Amino acid sequence: MTAEVHKETLDFQAEARQLLRLMIHSLYSNKEIFLRELISNASDACDKLRFEALTDEALFEGESGLRVRVSCDRQARTLTVTDNGIGMSRQEVIDHIGTIAKSGTRQFFESLTGDQAGDLRLIGQFGVGFYSAFIVAERVTLTTRRAGLGPEHGVRWESTGEGSYTLETVPCEHRGTEIVLHLRADEDEFLDGHRLREIIRRYSDSVSLPVEMPVEMPAETPTADEGGAGEWETVNRAAALWARPRKEITAEEYDEFYRHVAHDFEAPLAHVHTQIEGTQSYIALLYLPKRAPFDLWDRERGHGIKLYVRRVFIMEDTERLMPNYLRFVRGVVDSDDLPLNVSREILQHNRQLDVIRGASVKKVLGLLKDMAEGEPEKYQAFWAEFGRVMKEGPAEDYANREQIAKLLRFATTHGESGAQDISLDDYVGRMKEGQDRIYYITAESPLAARNSPHLEIFRKKGIEVLLLSERVDEWMLTGLTEYAGKPLQSVAKGELSLGGLEDAEEKRDLDVVTEEFKGLAERMGTTLAGKVKEVRVTHRLTDSPSCLVVDQDDMGMSLRKLLEATGQKIPANPPILEINPEHPLVKTLKREQDGVRFDDWAHLLFEQAMLSEGGQLEDPAAFVRRMNALLLAPAG
């Protein structure tokens, strides 16, 4: 087989240059982190090789001691990071290195504000990795060969980060990747061995692979530091952090390790570290990030939880190790009992892994519970970032739904700010005497929820209602039908039943007016046949003349809309129109003799109710015509 030898120039995607410029600008004050990024990538590449070599030892090519090397050349003004890991094929270089912008980049740019602090945060969420090299380098040359391919399959990638890169095939004797940074004029600090050692110890101490530098030569021979002397020494601690005794690990080390595994720029919000010994021995070191990564909603997100078996990296697969609603968790799980030669398929049905996963989920939920109780402000910050994901929990993880439910936070009619900061325990703790349900309303927006006519009677009686207006809420409700023995009840479903909250007198009054307005309700029902299932008198309204409800077991309006938006065909199911006998419009209508006018009013009361639900009118022009006719008509 002949290798492609041609040299070609390829363009980055349109956004790449802008992204790079922004990154260099935003990260400049923290520029030495580029070295951590390159070392983390190198260490990942070695982990991948070690794993692939489990089934194909030839990939080691006789050299199984994996390591990362960092050296500099003061004359050439270059800094070099080399690893003997898995390397990359030509196509992999194009896919992984030539593609800075991942899916969602355009969205990312739209979220930029121009405000430096905010943008720095965003760039952290975006994750810049390899490209952080351009913070200090004016040109970067990457030479790589994938383990297992012949020496003629080396690839050289070079770029100044200005919009294009070149790619050529070069002979490459050693497998793995070498990255040469041609430093910018004022970046001499990265040519200083002491400084480099200091950076490596600070940022890469917990990388489990040795990071080596040339043994320091006496000061008279400064140019010998290219590694030419052949003597290398390990600069970092090179021990798996998670396997060290917990009490010996400092908070800084935990934070730094997080940055390394999660490729995050910020420190984590919290971590939990368990070392279990017994019939099943394993270690889990799990972190909660401070901020949601920009691709949290992207199903094909990259980083997550790394699985190791006796310190050997096996795979990175959050899905197998965490349920979806905890997909933001980062860290490592290291099992002593799994066989080293496991494949993805075997892991899919592995009981030991199920046990580890179950225990890890409990640990994370416990961590969150402690935070919610002990550091409510911190928990609130967590909720603001990940609440929408956590709400997938009750439906996904039925076994843990009680614990998850405790962690949920809501906006309610009692909260002033509209923030989601009220727990179900708060709610239950202040339920009215005689109240036996947890009331909620779902709507398309926070405002529509808060102002819905359905809330009128609840306001009047001071009963708290959960305001649900996120898409995920409907999904959450399928798994959260009760809490602490109290069923959840939509305020827009079924006949209003306030149970013990109503006094006997009110009930009697209602019976009387229902009787009185029965004729009207029936007449309206005939007029609106096909549009509504039934018209009935209600006392759930105090200010509005009418509202729509559905039967207890029917699909709510907002869920219906949600499903219809996804293209599903939902069988038509007309709502019930409820009218407020206290309202002047309804009273007037009761007296209306003119058939045409009655018709118009009846339709208007229905259409108003539809609109305040955020619903679509079937014939908006007819609505406008009717309204105008009635506006112009002399009062009846």
Binding of ligand ADP by 532 (CB under 6 A): no
Give the separation between CA 116 and CA 22, rounded to whole angstroms.
Answer: 9
- 3-state SS, residue 461: helix
Binding of ligand ADP by 27 (CB under 6 A): no
Q: How far is the CB of 96 from ligand ADP (least distance, A)?
A: 3
Q: How far is the CB of 352 from ligand ADP (least distance, A)?
A: 28
Binding of ligand ADP by 125 (CB under 6 A): no
Residue with tokens 């200005």: 162
Q: How far is the CB of 200 from ligand ADP (least distance, A)?
A: 16
Binding of ligand ADP by 156 (CB under 6 A): no
C-alpha Rg value of the chain to the nearest Å:
32
Binding of ligand ADP by 82 (CB under 6 A): no
Closer to ligand ADP by CB, 293 or 556: give it. 293
CB proximity list for 333: less than 8 A, separation 6 or greater? 282, 283, 284, 286, 305, 306, 307, 308, 321, 356, 360
Residues 264-283 interacting with ligand ADP (rule: CB under 6 A): none
Nearest to 35 by CA among 183, 154, 243: 183
Q: Are 360 and 306 in contact (CB under 8 A)?
A: no
CB proximity list for 602: less than 8 A, separation 6 or greater? 523, 524, 527, 528, 589
Residue 147, both tokens? 């383990």
With CB under 6 A as the rule, give the number of residues binding ligand ADP: 18
Residue 343, both tokens? 């494949």
Residue environment code for 576-596, b if the CB has 16+ CB neighbours within 10 A, otherwise e: bbbbbbebebbeebbebeeee
Q: How far is the CB of 177 from ligand ADP (least distance, A)?
A: 4
Binding of ligand ADP by 104 (CB under 6 A): no
Give the separation between CA 440 and CA 408, rounded to whole angstroms.
Answer: 14
Task: Tell me phi and psi for residue 243, to 5 degrees.
Answer: -90, -10
Q: How far is the CB of 490 from ligand ADP (least distance, A)?
A: 43
Q: How far is the CB of 567 from ligand ADP (least distance, A)?
A: 34
Q: How far is the CB of 42 from ligand ADP (least distance, A)?
A: 5
Q: How far is the CB of 311 from ligand ADP (least distance, A)?
A: 20
- DSSP annotation string for 398-436: GGGHHHHHHH--BEETT-SS--S-B-HHHHHHTPPTT--
Residues 360-399 interacting with ligand ADP (rule: CB under 6 A): none
Q: How far is the CB of 211 from ligand ADP (least distance, A)?
A: 13
Q: Are 104 and 127 in contact (CB under 8 A)?
A: no
Among 24, 122, 126, 127, binds ligand ADP (CB under 6 A): 127
Ranked by CB distance to ligand ADP, the top (closest) residue is 129
Among 129, 151, 614, 615, binds ligand ADP (CB under 6 A): 129
Name the one range near ligand ADP by CB under 6 A: 126-134, 307-315, 572-580, 594-602.
126-134
Per-residue x/- track, 29-48, ligand ADP (CB under 6 A): --------x---xx--x---
Closer to ligand ADP by CB, 265 or 517: give it. 265
Beta bridge partner(s), residue 583: none
Q: How far is the CB of 156 from ligand ADP (least distance, A)?
A: 14
Q: Are 97 and 174 in contact (CB under 8 A)?
A: no
Q: How far is the CB of 3 from ligand ADP (least distance, A)?
A: 19
Closer to ligand ADP by CB, 127 or 148: give it. 127
Give the separation between CA 232 and CA 492, rounded to whole angstroms.
Answer: 72
Binding of ligand ADP by 323 (CB under 6 A): no
Name the one range near ligand ADP by CB under 6 A: 123-131, 311-319, 325-333, 613-621.
123-131
Among 263, 320, 388, 560, binds ligand ADP (CB under 6 A): 263
Closer to ligand ADP by CB, 37 or 397: give it. 37
Tell me how far CA of residue 127 lies from CA of 291, 340, 560, in angstroms.
12, 31, 38
Closer to ligand ADP by CB, 96 or 344: give it. 96
Name the one range near ligand ADP by CB under 6 A: 127-135, 247-255, 340-348, 475-483.
127-135
Give the separation between CA 469 and CA 485, rounded to whole angstroms.
Answer: 24
Closer to ligand ADP by CB, 129 or 446: give it. 129
CB proximity list for 73: less than 8 A, separation 6 or greater? 80, 191, 223, 225, 226
Residues 397-456 interacting with ligand ADP (rule: CB under 6 A): none
Tell me how far CA of residue 593 lies from CA of 338, 520, 599, in angstroms.
82, 12, 10
Binding of ligand ADP by 577 (CB under 6 A): no
Give the separation between CA 114 and CA 106, rounded to whole angstroms.
Answer: 15
Binding of ligand ADP by 84 (CB under 6 A): no
Give the separation between CA 284 and CA 305, rounded to whole angstroms.
Answer: 10
Closer to ligand ADP by CB, 123 or 604: give it. 123
Binding of ligand ADP by 177 (CB under 6 A): yes
Q: Are 589 and 608 in contact (CB under 8 A)?
A: no
Among 16, 88, 137, 240, binds ligand ADP (CB under 6 A): 88
H or E stretch at 310: none
Binding of ligand ADP by 103 (CB under 6 A): no
Per-residue x/- track, 285-314, ligand ADP (CB under 6 A): -----------------x------------
Name the one range near ligand ADP by CB under 6 A: 84-92, 283-291, 419-427, 601-609.
84-92
Enumerate binding residues for ligand ADP (CB under 6 A): 37, 41-42, 45, 83, 85-88, 96-97, 127, 129-131, 177, 263, 302
